[in-house]
Amino acid sequence: MARPSRHPRGDRRGPAAVTKVPARSLLTDPDRPLRQGRYRSPLRDERLAAWLGAGVGVLFGACFLTGLFSHLHQNPVTWLPVPARPAGLYRITQGLHVASGIASLPVLLAKLWVVWPRLLSFPPFRHVSDVVERLGILVLVGGGIFMVFSGVANIALWYPWPFSFRAAHFWMAWVTIGALVSHVGARWTTSRRALGGWGRAGASPPRERPRPALAEADPALGTAAEGVHDGLSRRGFLLTVGAATGALTAVTVGQTVPALSPLALLAPRDPRDRPVNRTAAMAGVQAGDVAAGYVFSVEGRVERPLRLTLDELVDLPSHEARLPIACVEGWSYSAPWSGVRLRDLLVLAGAPEGAEVRVESLEQEGAFRTSFVNRAQAQDRDTLLATHLDGDVLSLDHGFPLRLIGPDRPGVNQTKWVTRLVVE
């Protein structure tokens, strides 16, 4: 039931003039217990909550879908092979994944700020559906905070936890998106009403519709929103959150968008440096490992197993391709690579048509010391075992003497210090 507004629209009284509220409201109005009648905010607004919720939903949805695509790249399945083209697809999807994850930081915090008084709603449960909804919100809040925190910490190379980031981030993504689905369904009707019925046939745009009585729309959010104040308005708050999101994006997205690189002052990488994620020292690969004794081999299901020295490899026909290195952490850059085509080596070794390949590194340990090249990728004209970057011999940190580079692959699958191909 709608409670009458204590402050008619247009009343410009300051905080000191706010009317004392009845003691009963301290229990039933979640804005009251901490405000004690001295301060009122217009931000506990269902419409604002709906807009911010829509923002979180879109950003989390984009993160989830692009994250699944990345997971598929790193954990290939035979029934859904990833495509080899377009060459920059993974660069775009993973850039979007990280950018939307970063962008969700201010939007998620703003959303939690707008709705947090619900935590104090009394009584907390009236129906079984309230219990289900509140449990879902608990999971959503915990999952959302975890996903954003762990993602931001990961790109800053900070791991203040004892578990695998990849596994925890992946499974918690399912938990979080499930809670989001549940929450969207629970708030669908009130959110659509709050947003002015967009999507409904014949509905007017929100600005032209009269705002519903907020207390009627949602008692937990209503009454305080009717007050007048000197702080940010709902629109001002929304615009500010949008500006904060834009600013955060502007100073980070240059790690994958070359035109914005000079602005990327808070990005964890600068693509102009040609960054690497794992140095030779970190991988335990020494210069001595790749010196005179280096041998490259092609084995497995082949008619003519190959064993080649580096000089013999360099003497094979070389091909150049401009391809991106696109890291799972969201940074990327394109560069001209040159080396031997993988498909030429497969022909030389007599591999069967449609062969798939496992690429192995000199690296002795690590989750990415091998990578998988599917049929489409193996046959792509630009999938190379590169010896040169930018016309220069690869540096040890970039994978000297030989690294895999192919279109539409995450950086962790562009195996460095390659020593063996196993045809499967």
Q: Is 206 in the site for another protein (CB under 8 A)?
A: no
Stretch touching another protein by CB under 8 A, among 2-10, 126-134, 305-313, 372-380: 126-134
Of 3-11, 23-31, 71-79, 147-155: span binding another protein (CB under 8 A)? 147-155
Q: Does 54 bind another protein (CB under 8 A)?
A: no
Q: Residues 6, 37, 88, 146: which binds another protein (CB under 8 A)?
A: 146
Site string for another protein, 267-286 (x = CB under 8 A): xxxx--xxxxx-x-xx----
Rounded CA gap, 260 and 402, in Å? 31
Interface of this chain with another protein, residues 63 to 122, rule: CB under 8 A: 102, 105-106, 109-110, 112-113, 116, 119
CA distance 49 to 52: 5
Does residue 136 bind another protein (CB under 8 A)? yes
Residue 145 or 348 having the CB closest to another protein: 145
The one among 179, 195, 328, 346 contacting another protein by CB under 8 A: 179
- Give 336's strand partners: 322
Among 26, 186, 257, 422, binds another protein (CB under 8 A): 186
Neighbours of 193 (CB within 10 A): 17
| C-alpha R_g of the chain | 28
Q: What angle do CA 236, 30, 242 make, to 5 degrees?
A: 20
Q: In whole angstroms, how close is the CB of 268 to another protein at the nearest point?
A: 6
- Tokens, residue 283: 């991988």
Nearer to another protein, 116 or 125 (CB): 116
Binding mask 4-43 for another protein (x = CB under 8 A): ----------xx------------------x----x-x--
Tokens of 407: 């279109």
Q: How far is the CB of 338 from another protein (least distance, A)?
A: 22
Q: Which of residues 294-313 bind another protein (CB under 8 A)?
A: none
Q: Which residues are CB-neighbours of 226 under 8 A, at least 6 positions away?
A: 5, 6, 7, 9, 214, 215
**Residue of 92, 95, 96, 85 whose CA lies nearest to 321:** 85
Q: How far apart are CA 40 and CA 225, in angstroms?
A: 8
- Euclidean distance between CA atoms 176 and 303, whole angstroms: 49
**What is the pairing mode between strands 306-308 and 384-389?**
unpaired
**H-run or E-run covering 370:** strand 370-373
Q: Which of 47, 183, 341, 403 binds another protein (CB under 8 A)?
A: 183
CA angle 384, 389, 391 (to 5 degrees): 110
92 vs 105, beta carbon nearer another protein: 105
Considering only residues 207 through 266, tell me which ones interact with another protein, judged by CB under 8 A. Answer: 230-233, 236-237, 240-241, 243-245, 247-248, 251-252, 265-266
**In the bound complex, what is the minimum distance in angstroms from residue 395's beta carbon to another protein?**
11
In whole angstroms, the minimum distance from the beta carbon of 126 to another protein comes to: 14
Consecutive H or E run containing 312: helix 310-315
Is residue 361 exposed (0-12), middle (13-18) or buried (19+ Cβ within 10 Å)? buried
Smallest gap, in angstroms, from Cβ of residue 281 to another protein? 5
Binding mask 321-340 for another protein (x = CB under 8 A): --------------------
Of the residues 59, 62, 180, 326, which one makes contact with another protein according to CB under 8 A:
180
CA distances from 329 to 12, 72, 253, 278 (A): 49, 16, 12, 12
